Amino acid sequence: MNVMTLPRLIDLEDKTFDPFVVEKLATGDAEDPYPLIHELQAKGSVHKGGYRELFTDLPDTLHALNQYMVFNYDTLLRVLTDAETFGNRDAFMHTLGRSFGRTVSVMDAPEHTRFRKIFQQAFLPQTVAKWGASVVDPVVTDLMSGFIGRGEADLVEEFTHHYPFQVIYRQLQLDREQAPIFHKLAIAQILTSLDLPQGFEAAAKLGVFFQALLDQRRAEPGDDLISHLATVEADGERLPDEVLISFLRQLMNAGGDTTYRGTSALLTGLLMNPDQLEAVRADRSLVPQAIDEALRWEGPVLTTIRYVRREVELDGVLLPEGAILNMILGSANRDPTKFKDPDRFDIFRDRTVRHLGFASGPHVCIGQHLARVEMTRAVNALLDRLPNLRLDPSKPPPKLLGHKLRVPDHIYVKFDA
């Protein structure tokens, strides 16, 4: 398809509004939320109150609701896998539903089961694996060309912050000219959780754009992701436009933002532990377990939410129907009863307990296979093409920040040009 025929994205009316700054304020600058998480977890697995309010007084759409926090691995796993008692729809309608619309994350069974089955056909491991060479590798090469001959780089500003988003641009066959506005609108739309008008404006404009793009690809299908999603089916059923467009709205955040954070955490963990970095450099069969450890140690999302569908007792605490549960995934992934020395990054740790970096249960992350492909390709390319990759000793080491979505602002490195 000729990219010149693509529908046009329309920027926010207020050109001075910077959604990236607001989003950063919303995710917080907590240097280390884990001491408080451990402290609360030691006192019990269920606590009254909202997790966000422990770190910021900036209100969101959950602020006035009846909230509880859930800690520890076993309790979280029980909630995540009991969809009959703990639902998604009436929780996420206050957050993701406002941003993206009728997306699968906001659904409960049987609707969720039906549509998720179709999406799973689109993101089968064998399908995603093919995108590695055709979509992911060209993005890696393009980004690295900007610094590979220089001997130094900021891997966040020059690589990880752009990498997964550019993968999505290629999957959608979006022209480069429109990419900055697309990224801006995708970040702005999640600010509906703060009741900002720019959030609703961005969500509406992305909806119009994706409807036009979907109509165009149905009329002239190609090998891009939208053409694929428009035709994939399960049990003879295809995705309705409303569900598909809501998914595409969410794709930049669920697929781009989380992979950016996960890849940044992986590189931080390896570079801050040179012995482990050298082990991976020498033996690439260690890459999968390094990725798993990064997802456990600093999962891209520390919390998610659920809704109590009927009154229930959870670890001795009576939860009323209608309560919102803040699911502290970070506490499960650093539960000392499951992981020895849990705050330490260690790719060689025992892996008999599965981390919850991608959650669990019926809403386990659909895009986890693509995330692993992207993280694998990224770390292999950096180790292959940047000899003697190491932290820049003349600059500050990377520091992960945030109480919910954590990422370092910079990863300054040196390498042999």
pLDDT of residue 28: 76
Q: Three-class SS string for the chain?
A: CCHHHCCCCCCCCCCCCCHHHHHHHHHCCCCCCHHHHHHHHHHCCEEECCCHHHCCCCCCCCCCCCEEEECCHHHHHHHHHCCCCEECHHHHCCCHHHHHCCCHHHCCCCHHHHHHHHHHHHCCHHHHHHHHHHHHHHHHHHHHCCCCCCCEEECHHHHHCCHHHHHHHHHHCCCHHHHHHHHHHHHHHHHHHHCCHHHHHHHHHHHHHHHHHHHHHHHCCCCCHHHHHHHCEECCEECCHHHHHHHHHHHHHHHHHHHHHHHHHHHHHHHCCHHHHHHHHHCHHHHHHHHHHHHHHCCCCCEEEEEECCCEEECCEEECCCCEEEEEHHHHHCCCCCCCCCCCCCCCCCCCCCCCCCCCHHHCCCCHHHHHHHHHHHHHHHHHHCCCCEECCCCCCCCEECCCCCEECCCEEECCC
pLDDT of residue 64: 87
pLDDT of residue 263: 96
The string of pLDDT tens digits covering residues 145-194 is: 999 999 999 999 999 999 988 998 888 888 888 888 988 999 999 888 88
pLDDT of residue 1: 40
- For the chain, the domains span 32-414
pLDDT of residue 2: 44
Q: What is the mean pLDDT of each run of 10 residues along the chain (417 residues)?
A: 68 93 82 96 97 88 93 97 95 89 91 90 83 89 95 97 89 84 90 89 93 89 85 85 91 82 97 98 97 95 95 97 97 97 97 93 88 93 96 97 93 95
The string of pLDDT tens digits covering residues 115-139 is: 998 888 888 888 888 888 888 999 9
- CATH architecture type of domain 32-414: Orthogonal Bundle (1.10)
Supply the pTM of this predicted model: 0.92
pLDDT of residue 306: 97
